[in-house]
Amino acid sequence: MLKTRVAMALVLAGGCIALALWGQARPERMTASFVAAAAAAEERLERAPDTETDGPTTPADGEGGAAERPLSTIIGNEDMEFEALDAAPATDAGGVPDVFWVKFECSNGDFVVEFRRDWAPRGVKRVYEIVRDGVWHDNRFFRVVPGFVVQWGIPGRPADAAEWRTKRIEDDPVRASNERGTFTFATSGPNARTTQVFINFQDNEALDTYQQGFPPVGKVVKGMDVVDSINAKYGEAPSQAQQAIQMEGNAFLDERFPGLDTIHKTVFVKPVE
């Protein structure tokens, strides 16, 4: 009887987690309800007995749980003022700085994100490259799910989309939680991050431990009210046509989903001293 109950728990959890992983391969499917279902399934598994050799076990420390993640130590805050830099910031050796800031100048207002290499060095380096090369200029917010996430990142020009979708980077460990305002890469599976990202509208801790996990790379430090006001008229509908967005770019979105809010450009900034 015990083995039957454990098996049923595994089937249920497997189904929920499979839905969540399908959401990673098809980001438009990764809804808040899927996150809640997967989290509930994981919780049931953790409560299940593990005295039998074929029973489920709970994750050990260091396997994506909160034990290794440091507290959020954001330098920026809503009271800070920022000024544009003339060029991409760099260390004395020409590398990516430990901390840098980017202003997103959007159709509905501006917001600033602080990026931290100690959170996710590979992901932060990719953000640096994207901003340096202007990949998110004239970019549409194509997935807006109030109470969950806002997502963007497919380049608006099809030629750029074709170039960047093959530039995958390796995963980072999850060192900060997907709390409200954190900035995180979307992914289709292990070692598959490219240019698509999202900002969490609320605390989404369940994303911390999905398969390889979704490691935040930064956090909004100014203008979260602007993020909250991004046009949510179409919800997840545009993201259900990601292949068309990849192939046709902004022309497709502007024709089928007019009025989406847009990132006009991204700018490296620094705090005003």
pLDDT digits (tens, 9 = 90+) for 170-201: 999 999 999 999 999 999 889 999 999 999 99
Tell me: pLDDT of 270 over 70. yes
Task: Pick 210 or 54 by higher pLDDT.
Answer: 210
pLDDT digits (tens, 9 = 90+) for 92-146: 888 999 999 999 999 999 999 999 999 999 999 999 999 999 999 999 999 999 9
Model confidence at 76, pLDDT cuts 50, 70, 90, reads low
Q: Where are the beta strands (DSSP E) in 49-181?
A: 82-84, 99-106, 109-116, 139-140, 143-145, 149-152
Taking a C-beta distance cutoff of 8 angstroms, is the pair 261, 140 a contact?
yes
Which pLDDT score, from 0 to 100, does residue 211 have?
Answer: 72
The domain made up of 71-271 has a fold known as Cyclophilin (2.40.100)
Task: Pick 164 or 57 by higher pLDDT.
Answer: 164
Residue 202: phi, psi to the nearest 5?
-140, 175
Model confidence at 160, pLDDT cuts 50, 70, 90, reads very high
Taking a C-beta distance cutoff of 8 angstroms, is the pair 35, 41 a contact?
no
Which pLDDT score, from 0 to 100, does residue 147 have?
Answer: 96
For the chain, what is the mean pLDDT? 80
Tell me: pLDDT of 61 over 90. no
**Which pTM does this prediction carry?**
0.77
Which pLDDT score, from 0 to 100, does residue 273 have?
Answer: 81
Tell me: pLDDT of 216 over 90. yes
Which pLDDT score, from 0 to 100, does residue 74 have?
Answer: 53
CA dist 9 → 54, 91, 189, 190, 208 (Å): 13, 51, 24, 25, 22
Please enumerate in sequence order all residues whose Cβ is within 8 A of that of 232, keeping only pairs 6 or more positions apart, or say none.
144, 145, 146
Which pLDDT score, from 0 to 100, does residue 31 have?
Answer: 52
Could you give the CA distance from residue 9 to residue 186 in angstroms, rounded to a whole number? Answer: 28
Could you give the CA distance from residue 89 to residue 96 in angstroms, rounded to a whole number? Answer: 7
Report which listed range, 17-21, 186-190, 255-259, is most confident: 255-259
Taking a C-beta distance cutoff of 8 angstroms, is the pair 201, 150 a contact?
yes
Tell me: pLDDT of 51 over 70. no
Q: Where are the beta strands (DSSP E) in the chain?
A: 82-84, 99-106, 109-116, 139-140, 143-145, 149-152, 182-185, 197-200, 216-222, 262-271
Tell me: pLDDT of 43 over 90. no
Residue ranges per structural domain of the chain: 2-58, 71-271
Other CB atoms within 10 Å distance of the CB of residue 137: 18
